[in-house]
């Protein structure tokens, strides 16, 4: 339960920084021990997207209708490839799938 809350807080921080991860899945969550307490960390920002401005001077743009992400964890909007821009809710959906798998 606590790890789920900490993951939610990490995702909230990421979204406050105007970033969308776009590939939340178990292999992109690293759990380390800090003073004997498990601490989750979100890793692999390879397909992350800035919602405002650019991530770096060499930002690479994805092509329209390009399939990116892991199908089992992506939101219906992201999987649909309708051309509509996804937002932070897609990350929340992916986190929900991940947490559901942990509980089930």
Catalytically active residues are 23
Instruction: Determine the 3-state secondary structure of 44 from DSSP.
Output: coil
- Distance, in Å, from the CA atom of 57 to the CA atom of 99, rounded to the nearest integer, reads 35
Burial class (CB in 10 A: 0-12, 13-18, 19+), 75: buried
């Amino acid at each position: 339960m606590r790890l789920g809350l900490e993951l939610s807080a990490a995702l909230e921080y990421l979204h406050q920084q105007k970033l969308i991860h776009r590939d939340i899945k178990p292999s992109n969550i690293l759990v380390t021990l800090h003073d004997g307490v498990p601490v989750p960390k979100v890793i692999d920002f390879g397909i992350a997207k800035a919602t405002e401005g650019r991530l770096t001077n060499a930002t690479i743009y994805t092509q329209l209708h390009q399939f990116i992400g892991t199908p089992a964890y992506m939101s219906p909007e992201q999987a649909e490839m309708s051309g509509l821009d996804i937002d932070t809710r897609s990350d929340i959906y992916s986190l929900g799938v991940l947490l559901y798998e942990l509980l089930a």
